[in-house]
Structure 1
Amino acid sequence: NILSEILNTPGFEAVNTTSHLGSYSKLISNIPGISAYYNDKYTLNSTLSSSMEKVRITIKNDASSDIDTQIISDYLHSILGVEVITNEVNSEGEIIESLKLGITDLAIMDSPSAGWVAWKEFGLVAMAAMQGMDERTNYNTDAFVKMDSSIASAYLDDNLDTNPYSLLEGKISCHSESMSLAGMVLPVGYLIGEGYIKNINNSENIDDLNDTILNFFDQNSSIPEKGESYYGNLGALKCLSDGFGDIAFVEEGYLESYCENEDEDDNLDWCLNSSEYVALPFDIKIPTSTVIYNPEYLDVQSRTTILNALMSLNFEMYLENYSFSGKTHTGCYDISIHVIDEDSEKETCGSEILKNMFNSSGVVRVTSQEHFGHFSDLVSNIPGISGYYIEYFKIFEEET
């Protein structure tokens, strides 16, 4: 009776924001000034808590980039109305420590492993994810075998009685490097989760992971360290192409970029014909960069206001020589109010900040479970992985 008489509905259905409001949003966003109208209509609070006099953001220093981080500080300041300080640190461990201790209000974390540890071990929370340039919030692992292999035959024969994954046992595997996410940790986590690889000694020691892998695959499998043969994503592909290994685990896109170019002269000399490679599906999703905060220090009102400010980057795109209403415009176009700013510098436009500073096409709201859940299921299958990452990122267990 509560559903029908009070809520006037027959029931609830699980949805996410994109599936439920996505098409509606695309239509209503075309109405000039609609956001401001609804803000006034529903008296939405878009301000920080009165106790928050400045916003502190931490990112990892990128030595290869000459982008001035003051640009994002100035952008957010123009929306939030308070001082915004962007601090650069040298490691993900420093980012997590800053969030744990309340030294920073939020952080943009590139490493999915660090983001996962921050969530699972220290109670930090994801508020948003940075989309890749392809507008996805995850990328995949590619697993390649040769077309003339028994593994490929089992995968392609449409016979449910032949299982290509069970045929991996005893085969030589080519991993990009020891403890690589795409090249080792997640494919192994997937095979453990599916019951193919067994933790025979019930070890909880990460140092036994190589033995666990070699007990399933052939003892001659390639798990190289830097400087060794077949190191890296290209090394793993070469390991397969040379005929040394039976399956290669690499980050997505490497085969297409180095062995499947339209002009064959652009391919590496050891590449096989593209038809000789078969991609074996592995259900692996690796999260993109994450905006993370500590709910013990950042209140809900301020979190939401900062998130909305970050999301506003999505509404600005830089146009060059764009013809509209009989005139040609160059400037930063705000799609939410249909106004072109032709005076501000190109680098200060939302689309340029996203591309140049974060290699991103947009910011999307996420929860920790949405962004890290699938990744967590896989990585948690690796014995001792949490302790390994805590040590790897040099995260102190005791607050000082």
Structure 2
Amino acid sequence: MLETKFAKSSLMILLMVTTAMAGCIGSDDDSTSSTINVAYYLADDASANADAQGMADRLASDLGVNVNLYDVSSEGMIIQALRFGNADIGFMEGGPAWIGWKQYGLSVLAVETTTAEGATHYNASAWVLNGSDIANAHLDGDDSTDPFALMAGKTSCHTGWLKYAGMLMPMGYLIKNGYVTPVGDSTDVNSLRTTIDNHFDGSASNGNPASIPDSGALYSGYSGAIECLSEGYGDVAFAKGDDFSTVEKYCGADNASENEAWCLAMDQYVQLPSFGQSPSHPVMYNPEKLDIHTRNAILNAMLSWNDEMWVDNYPMGGQNYTGCYNTVTHQVADIPMNQCGGEILSSVTSKGYGLKAGNSQNHLASYSDLLASVPGLSEYYHSSDKYGITDAETSEQ
């Protein structure tokens, strides 16, 4: 079996595609020229720019159109460009994709895979210690005992301020289902801190106040939230569960010396039912602007890149080949390295694995419902403090 390891780019790349539809991608008039403008956002890096150009050149080859690169400076510009038809598709983060779907009518075309196995989500979950009243309420088989209701007055361990699995999704769930009552200005996301402090005020019962650490501070990040729980500072930690279990990652090695020093035995941790699924980065489009023929042509071209990898002196049929190897056809294409599908996906996706076809309901629904329940989050995402969606409206109209 041919195996390869693609380099994972740490650069943030945001892509948008604008088409004047004709010729090979949907027009009945083959004499009409077509142009695709690919807008991207990345750091000042010659190598990253070359990778983006390789993607554009390959898309041009696959679709038989001219493809140009067009620079953008924010996710807000992607949303507004899709909204007003200046762009047809864009790689986006989950938060802006939620806004784009629910407030501007955008849809999911494809979704990134975040593991070699093809995962497109992870579950956000709460963790408690075995033997605690919350754990007992979950494990006792009695529907009348609700573990989420018992969190009031306890001390919560968050991964950080406004983190998805560590704050936004659990708080959205608790607010949406009536366990937590928001306090303060409903248009100001900073009111969430007051809401958390009021609900998870362990100090009122001789415990500790909620842990909402700054980046790099004690108990920050996924490991920090579980450490906060393990060391007894907090009563409930918000992190990842199930297939991407934070507890398993830091405390699940058979050799105890490979686990974090603060870890307890695995049977001391109890995961509560998942709050919902946090999605991988989706590729978005505007169904009112992008016709189905062009949409499918772009999607099929991008999905075909999953089958390719770059090989160097790969032996096959008595000869050694260097080029872009297709794992389905077993052919090696003599094209530039940065136009090979695996190299493109390694550069333009956040984790460097690949893409799958997707749709909005399956990919964003549970996540969207939770984020929509957090007071002031939409206003924050629209502001220049986060994604600049409002500011981008004028420039893209």
Query: Which of the five TM-score ranges fits, normalised by the shorter chain?
Result: 0.7 to 0.9
CA distance in 1, matches of 2:155, 2:175: 17
Aligned-residue offset at 1:287: 1.3
Which residue in 2 is equivalent to 1:368? 360
2:131 to 138, 148, 153: 148
The 3-state SS of whatever aligns with 1:69 is: helix
TM value normalised by structure 2: 0.78
The 3-state SS of whatever aligns with 1:399 is: helix
TM value normalised by structure 1: 0.77
CA distance in 1, matches of 2:72, 2:226: 34
Deviations 1:194-218 (A, max 9, x none): 2212236794543322222233222
Question: Contact conserved, 1:59 with 1:95, CA < 8 A, in 2?
Answer: no
Which residue in 1 is equivalent to 2:233? 244
Deviations 1:217-269 (A, max 9, x none): 22511122335432222222221121100111124443333322344333222
The 3-state SS of whatever aligns with 2:181 is: coil
The 3-state SS of whatever aligns with 1:291 is: strand
Which one is further off, 285-294 or 221-230?
Answer: 221-230
Question: Contact conserved, 2:175 with 2:181, CA < 8 A, in 1?
Answer: yes
Question: Contact conserved, 1:329 with 1:342, CA < 8 A, in 2?
Answer: no
Deviations 1:166-191 (A, max 9, x none): 21111100111111111101111111
1:14-93 map, 5 Å: 47-49=25-27, 53-61=34-42, 66-67=47-48, 68-93=51-76
Unaligned runs of 5+ in 1: 1-44
1:272 to 259, 264, 269: 264
Is residue 101 of structure 2 the alignment partner of residue 119 of structure 1?
A: yes
What letter is aligned with 1:185? L
Q: CA RMSD in A?
A: 3.1
Question: Contact conserved, 1:55 with 1:105, CA < 8 A, in 2?
Answer: no
Deviations 1:61-103 (A, max 9, x none): 2679954212211221111111223445443223223333444
- Assess, with a 3 A threshold, how the Cα gap between structure 1 residues 364 and 211 changes in structure 2: closer, same or farther: same
CA distance in 2, matches of 1:159, 1:328: 65
The 3-state SS of whatever aligns with 1:214 is: helix
Which residue in 2 is equivalent to 1:207? 190
Which residue in 2 is equivalent to 1:301? 293
Which one is further off, 243-252 or 196-205?
Answer: 196-205
The 3-state SS of whatever aligns with 2:210 is: coil
Which residue in 2 is equivalent to 1:95? 78
Question: Contact conserved, 2:112 with 2:356, CA < 8 A, in 1?
Answer: yes
CA distance in 1, matches of 2:65, 2:221: 45
Which residue in 1 is equivalent to 2:18? none
Which residue in 2 is equivalent to 1:23? none
Percent identity between the two aligned chains: 38
The 3-state SS of whatever aligns with 2:257 is: helix
Which one is further off, 90-99 or 149-158?
Answer: 90-99
CA distance in 2, matches of 1:200, 1:357: 41
Question: Contact conserved, 2:187 with 2:376, CA < 8 A, in 1?
Answer: yes
Aligned-residue offset at 1:325: 7.4
- Assess, with a 3 A threshold, how the Cα gap between structure 1 residues 356 and 254 changes in structure 2: closer, same or farther: farther
Unaligned runs of 5+ in 2: 1-22, 203-208
1:135-214 map, 5 Å: 135-199=118-182, 203-214=186-197
Is residue 131 of structure 2 the alignment partner of residue 131 of structure 1?
A: no
CA distance in 2, matches of 1:64, 1:256: 37
The 3-state SS of whatever aligns with 2:388 is: coil
State how many pairs are aligned: 354
Which residue in 2 is equivalent to 1:350? 341
Aligned-residue offset at 1:322: 7.8
What letter is aligned with 1:394? G
